[in-house]
Amino acid sequence: MRHLVLVLAVLGTVGGIPRAMATPAAAPAAAPADATAAFARLLGLAGSWETVTAKGTVIRLTFEPIARGSALVERYEAGTTVTQTIYHPDGQRLLLTHYCAQGNQPRLVADLAAPADHLPFTFLDVTNLAGAGASRMVACEFVFEDADHFTRSETYRNEGGDDVTTRRYTRSADAPR
């Protein structure tokens, strides 16, 4: 492909092909090839990230690979609230288990057909749910912007419906790149 583009570019500069035809159009971001590629994208988040809510609360996320890089632990801290989420490949799937402050543990599975800069997770199941109407995470989506920024949306469902929160995180100055 690289050689074809080079040949077309050379022909375009000598008048054989209009320049617009010599430059391929930008293609949309391709989906990760598999769970391994999507997991590698998450591993790139290793380090600390922060955001500030409208009320001024600092939320800090810390991502740390564990078990020789086979899983990624996310530690969420907002005031006195601390939770953990663990991401890991499972064959051709990428799973997350969220250890919620509400005492339940929803599991979500990644939609690997999404564009490469998006990594949505959808509900798979939940353990230790207090009741059918109790709040639990049912969706989580990462939108990767660049090496120092990502946006994450989380959807929690309870008997009253869905509550979606979206926050943009910035890599902390003390985090590795």
pLDDT in tens, 160-173: 999 999 999 999 98
Give the bridge partners for 95, in sequence order.
Answer: 88, 109
- pLDDT computed for residue 14 by the predictor: 40
- pLDDT computed for residue 33 by the predictor: 60
Both tokens assigned to 33: 């090839």
27-81 pLDDT tens trace: 445 544 699 999 999 999 999 999 999 999 999 999 999 999 999 999 999 999 9
Of 11-20, 91-100, 158-167, the range with the lowest mean pLDDT is 11-20
- pLDDT computed for residue 1 by the predictor: 40
Q: Where are the domains of the chain?
A: 1-29, 35-171
Could you say which DSSP state residue 115 is in? -
Give pTM, 2 decimals.
Answer: 0.80
Element (H, E) at 43: helix 35-43
Q: Could you tell me the sign of the dihedral formed by the alpha carbons of 150, 97, 66, 91, in that order? A: negative
Could you say which DSSP state residue 110 is in? E
Give the bridge partners for 83, in sequence order.
Answer: 76
Number of neighbouring beta carbons within 10 Å of residue 63: 19
CA distance 29 to 24: 14
Residue found by looking up tokens 């419906």 in the block: 161
Q: Report the CATH fold assignment for 35-171.
A: Lipocalin (2.40.128)
DSSP 39-103: HHHHHTT-EEEEEE-TT--EEEEEEEEETTTTEEEEEEEETTEEEEEEEEEETTEEEEEEE-TTS
CA distance 134 to 140: 18
Which one is predicted more confidently, 114 or 177?
114
